[in-house]
Structure 1
Amino acid sequence: MDDAKTRTRRQILEVAAGILEREGAQAVSTRSVAAAAGIRAASLYQLFGDKDGLLAALAIHAFDLYLAEKSTLAPSGDPVDDMRRGWDSHVDFGLRHPAFYLLMFGTDRPGRRPPAGEEANRLLLRFIGRIADAGRLRVPVPLAASLSQAAVIGVTLSLIGAPAGERDPDVSIRMRDTLIDSLITDPSPIVDATVAARALALDAALAAAGDPALPLRPTEAALLRDWLQQLAR
């Protein structure tokens, strides 16, 4: 894409984002955005196709903003505390950008996740993987990530839907702590951890190292990881 098209695309997204945040997704149309951006509707169609294409691009733009904020959360050395801070950051973003959030985490078609959400999901898996590495996770990493995502999105959507004066921040804190307490073990040396916690920690370490680092054939490595996942249940 040449510089002129890149600038026009950025201008359209900025204008559309402004309309989205001020008036909601129902106000974003190819006609309203083209008029506000001072361009011909044909130029918008060439870059985004139609309204659905424009909204998809806005969702990607929103995820870029979300991930940029997430990247400022430097690891503290305590992966559980990092998970709490990640939860709070997620909810805060949703309350500051409700229209963006609904576009990012709502869906107009069952079974479809916005493609831009995959990087956010990978980030969550890394957060939880560090807890598993420390031997403090009670359940497999993918299950912990799914439970965490369902809980934090549900809480954020619930708070967005409540009138601003009736939002109780304690709801988010209580849900966060209840979820995390159900997923992790108390901090203790790995030698004193349960068999399940040890298995999860070793499985996470093997996943991080990759099969080539193991003195095992691929079938043996797969069998070992299957055994570890069975022990972790």
Structure 2
Amino acid sequence: MPLRPPSGSRASDAAPTGREQTRQRVIEATIDLLTRGGREAVTTRAVAEAAGLQPPAIYRLFGDKDGLLDAVAEHGFAAFLATKHVDPDPQDPVEDLRAGWDVAVEFGLANPALYTLMYSEPTRAASAAFSAGMEILMGRIRRLAAGGWLRVDEELAAQIIHATARGAVLTWLSLPEHRRNPALLTTLRESMVAAVTNERPSVQDAGPAGAARALRAALPEQTTLSSAEQHLLREWLGRLAADG
């Protein structure tokens, strides 16, 4: 079943224009073809026929086939973003990380053809919805760092979390059904958690690395330091954090 556009924003609540409705119809037709026949089934002629249009309309709306696929991928990122639950103050930030990872994997398993398209080309990482999703992930990571839970640098943590979720989905989809063992997903998730978090908040330990990470995460909230002082302090804290 084609994904519907996410609701809840001002743009989506406004009545769509005829052009927007046609674009949406074409995107949904493309997703349906992609789901039933794979990427090979997505031709401009097939999409136009499924959407009840003439092929030149596809070019007028999307430029070319690549433009159409980019629009479909962006639709997928927006639909995925709509599934994300944001808790600004989770009781357990590590469990919140697990839950977010599970949501990402479940979306991929539920939409295999679309997910594969979304992550088939690195250029699609520039998508606005993808960037918004990464901001949610970075918020989770920042809360882990501020609480002293983070074992590695924030950027590396984001790369590990993203890579393990994407790898879990694509590996699962590549396996024949009789070889799909749910333990694979659980093991990858727990390996991710072990790689990026401490068993206990490191700010309670004597070592300086965890405390440095926690303080560095809280720096944007400081108002008493000048820009030059904050820059110098970040450099010092970065060196201390690396010692861990």
How high is the TM-score relative to the length of structure 2? 0.86
- Pairing 1:222–2:222 present: no
Residue 105 of structure 2 corresponds to: 91
Rounded Cα–Cα distance in structure 2 between residues aligned with 1:144 and 1:130 = 12
Rounded Cα–Cα distance in structure 1 between residues aligned with 2:135 and 2:66 = 25
Identity of aligned residues (%): 38
Rounded Cα–Cα distance in structure 1 between residues aligned with 2:171 and 2:150 = 27
Residue 241 of structure 2 corresponds to: 232
Deviations 1:102-134 (A, max 9, x none): 111122xxx534322322222221111111111
- Does the CA contact (< 8 Å) of 2:35 and 2:114 recur in 1? yes
Unaligned runs of 5+ in 1: none
- Pairing 1:114–2:125 present: yes
Unaligned runs of 5+ in 2: 1-15
How high is the TM-score relative to the length of structure 1? 0.89
- Does the CA contact (< 8 Å) of 1:138 and 1:232 recur in 2? no
**1:43 alignment partner, one of 50, 54, 57:** 57
Rounded Cα–Cα distance in structure 1 between residues aligned with 2:239 and 2:151 = 13
**2:203 alignment partner, one of 178, 184, 190:** 190
The one-letter code of the counterpart of 1:221 is Q
The 5-angstrom pairing of residues 5-16 of structure 1 reads 5-16=19-30
Deviations 1:118-173 (A, max 9, x none): 22222221111111111111111111111221222112110011122321111111
- Pairing 1:54–2:86 present: no
What's the secondary structure of 1:232's corresponding residue? helix
How many residue pairs match? The answer is 226
Deviations 1:29-63 (A, max 9, x none): 11111011111222221110111000000000000
Rounded Cα–Cα distance in structure 2 between residues aligned with 1:175 and 1:33 = 37
The 5-angstrom pairing of residues 1-233 of structure 1 reads 3-71=17-85, 76-107=90-121, 112-116=123-127, 117-188=130-201, 190-192=203-205, 194-207=207-220, 209=221, 213-233=222-242
Alpha-carbon RMSD: 2.0
Cα separation, partners in 2 of 1:63 and 1:231, compared to 1, 3 Å: same
1:75 deviates by 5.9
Q: Which moved more, 1:219-228 or 1:180-189?
A: 180-189
Residue 4 of structure 2 corresponds to: none
